Structure 1
Amino acid sequence: MLLALVAAACLVPGALTAWLLRGHGWGVAVLAGFGVTAAFPAVLISGMLVFPPLGYLIGAAATLAALRDYDSGRLGHATTWATGAVVALACARWSR
């Protein structure tokens, strides 16, 4: 469930941007939507650098999700969550 929320949080802004810009042509709309979707992780990482509690919160949530997925045997999902936890906690640590 948490993975679906993270995917929606990353993809919905890009899809909405593409939908709102469809009047300017689908090529421009798709490129703008892709740009918004690609920029979202950079904005999130910079937010964790500026506001360390956000990095610790995301790191803790990703760690719990990784442990849950390791317990259920979904190693690919769990490894992805563990990598996200390491990145979030590293960003929070660098800002101190």
Structure 2
Amino acid sequence: MLLVLLAAACLVPGALTVWLLRRHGWGVAVLAGIGATVMLPFVLISGMLVFPPLGYAIAAAATLAALRDYDNGKLGHATTWTTVAVIAMGCARWSR
């Protein structure tokens, strides 16, 4: 469920950008939507650098998700969540 919410949170800004810019032409709208979707992780990392408690919260949630996936035998998902937790903790600790 958390992966679905994360995917929706990442894709909705791009889809809304395409929808709002469709009157300028579909090519421009799609390129702007791709740009909005691709820039979202960079904005999140910048937010974790500026506001360390956000990094700690994301690291805690990702750690819990990784532990759940390790228990369920989903090693690929668990490794991805572990990577997210390490990046979030690194951003939060680096900004101190």
Measured against the shorter chain, the TM-score band is over 0.9
Question: 4+ residue runs of structure 1 moved beyond 4 angstroms?
Answer: none
Displacement of 1:58 in angstroms is: 0.2
Equivalent in the alignment of 1:24: 24
Instruction: Extract unaligned runs of 5+ from structure 2.
Output: none
Report how many residues are paired: 96
Equivalent in the alignment of 1:88: 88
The root-mean-square deviation of aligned C-alpha atoms, in Å, is: 0.5
CA deviations over 1:52-86 (Å, ceiling 9, x no partner)? 00000000000000010111111111111100000
CA deviations over 1:14-65 (Å, ceiling 9, x no partner)? 0110111111111000000000000000000000000000000000000000
Equivalent in the alignment of 1:61: 61
Displacement of 1:89 in angstroms is: 0.2
Instruction: Extract unaligned runs of 5+ from structure 1.
Output: none
Secondary structure at 2:5's aligned position in 1? helix
> How far apart, CA to CA, are the structure 1 residues paired with 2:78 and 2:3?
10
Give the fraction of aligned pairs with identical amino acids, expressed as a percent. 80
> How far apart, CA to CA, are the structure 1 residues paired with 2:75 and 2:48?
26
Displacement of 1:90 in angstroms is: 0.2
Q: Greater shift after overlay, 39-48 or 71-80? A: 71-80
Structure-1-length-normalised TM-score: 0.98
